[in-house]
Amino acid sequence: MALQQKRHSRFLLLLGATAIVGLTLWSSGRIARTLRAEEQRKVALWSEAILQRAELVRYTDALFASLRNEERDKADLMGEAYRIIQEAEPGAPIDLTFITRFIQGNRTIPVLVYRDSVLQGDINVPELLRTPERLDSLRSELAARGTVIAFEQGLMVYYDQSNRFRELQSVMDDLIHSFLSETVLNSASIPVLLADSTLQHILQADRIPEADLADTAALIRRLAEVNPPIALDLPESGRRWILYDESVVLKQLRYFPVVQLLIIGGFLLLAYSTFSAFRRSEQNRVWVGMAKETAHQLGTPLSALLAWVEVLRVEGVAEEVLGELEKDLGRLRTVTDRFSKIGSEPELAIGDLGAFVGETMAYLERRMPKAVDFSVVLPNAPVQVAFNPALFSWVLENLTKNAVDAMEGAGSLSLELTVEGGRVQMDVADSGRGMSRRVQRQVFEPGFSTKERGWGLGLSLVRRIVREYHGGQIAVLRSDEGVGTTFRLHLPVESEE
Residue 344 Ramachandran class (φ > 0 left, ψ -120 to 50 alpha, else beta): beta
How distant, in Å, are the alpha carbons of 186, 337, 449 from that of 453?
78, 24, 8
For the chain, give every domain's residue range: 187-246, 345-492
Strand 411-420 with 372-377, pairing: parallel
Q: Which among 134, 80, 89 has a CA at the least distance from the CA of 112? A: 134
Question: According to the model, what pLDDT value does residue 497 have?
Answer: 47
Give the span between the Cα atoms of 436 and 458, in whole angstroms.
Answer: 19
CATH architecture, domain 345-492: 2-Layer Sandwich (3.30)
Give the span between the Cα atoms of 345 and 464, in whole angstroms.
Answer: 12
Residue 205 has pLDDT above 50, yes or no: yes
Give the span between the Cα atoms of 157 and 159, in whole angstroms.
Answer: 7
Give the span between the Cα atoms of 430 and 416, in whole angstroms.
Answer: 12
Give the 3-state secondary structure of residue 383. coil
Give the confidence band of 77 by pLDDT, cuts at 50, 70, 90. Answer: low
CB distance 349 to 458 below 8 Å: no
Give the span between the Cα atoms of 481 and 224, in whole angstroms.
Answer: 63
CB distance 433 to 393 below 8 Å: no
Residue 388 has pLDDT above 80, yes or no: yes
349: exposed, middle or buried (C-beta count within 10 Å: 0-12, 13-18, 19+)? Answer: exposed
DSSP string, 51-116: HHHHHHHHHHHHHHHHHHHHHHHHHHHHHHHHHHHHHPPTT-S---HHHHHHHHT-SSS-EEEEET
- The secondary structure element, H or E, covering residue 11 is helix 2-87
Residue 91 has pLDDT above 80, yes or no: no
Question: According to the model, what pLDDT value does residue 351 have?
Answer: 92
180: CB partners within 8 A, 6+ apart: 194, 204
pLDDT digits (tens, 9 = 90+) for 325-383: 888 888 788 777 767 766 667 788 999 999 999 999 998 998 889 899 999 999 988 89
The strands making up 423-430's β-sheet, listed across from edge to edge, are 372-377, 411-420, 423-430, 484-492, 473-480
Residue 145 has pLDDT above 50, yes or no: yes
pLDDT digits (tens, 9 = 90+) for 263-290: 888 888 888 888 888 877 777 777 677 7
CB distance 305 to 333 below 8 Å: no
Please report, for the chain, how many H helices and E strands are present, in that order. Answer: 12, 15
Q: Is the pTM of this model over 0.75?
A: no
**Paired residues of 159 in beta bridges:** 111
Give the span between the Cα atoms of 454 and 214, in whole angstroms.
Answer: 71
CB distance 423 to 490 below 8 Å: yes
Give the confidence band of 177 by pLDDT, cuts at 50, 70, 90. Answer: low
Residue 473 has pLDDT above 90, yes or no: yes
Give the span between the Cα atoms of 232 and 54, in whole angstroms.
Answer: 7
Rg over alpha carbons for the chain, rounded to the nearest Å, is: 51
Residue 187 has pLDDT above 60, yes or no: no
pLDDT digits (tens, 9 = 90+) for 13-51: 778 878 877 787 787 777 777 776 776 677 666 667 777
Amino acid at 43: V
